[in-house]
Structure 1
Amino acid sequence: VSEQETWADAANRIVQKSQSERARSVQLRAESEALVNRVSREMWETWTNTNNALTRRTSELLEAKSQLQQHLHK
């Protein structure tokens, strides 16, 4: 095996490793972006559900207050 062949093999291994690592980096970036999008969507849904629940509870409390006031004025 000549020194030139050894150098070429080493260079090929370095290039292959670099390509593999770049591909993994692209994959990790895509997975990270998907995760951020999913968490963002879940947070928005949770926020919306919480606001809807608070709105319903507020309506229930106002209705109960109104009924109590009507009952007390009879």
Structure 2
Amino acid sequence: MNNALRQTGWIGAEITAETWRPVLADQLQRLNWDRVVDDVRPLLDVGADLALLTLENVLQVVTHPRSRT
């Protein structure tokens, strides 16, 4: 992943298993969320609830993963 990031101009710190979640959360907060929803809309099944696709919901999933047992 770090090689791919560098190839696209990433100048941040190397991403590790411990740092990817906060880095992703930071990047998500920089996006225009209306554009994100518009970009994703054609990929969703008919009847998908776009109201669930919010920055807050995505950040919740990224920053508070469920424990796997």
State the TM-score, normalizing by the size of structure 2. Answer: 0.22
Larger Rg: 1
Q: Which has the higher helix share?
A: 1
State the TM-score, normalizing by the size of structure 1. Answer: 0.21
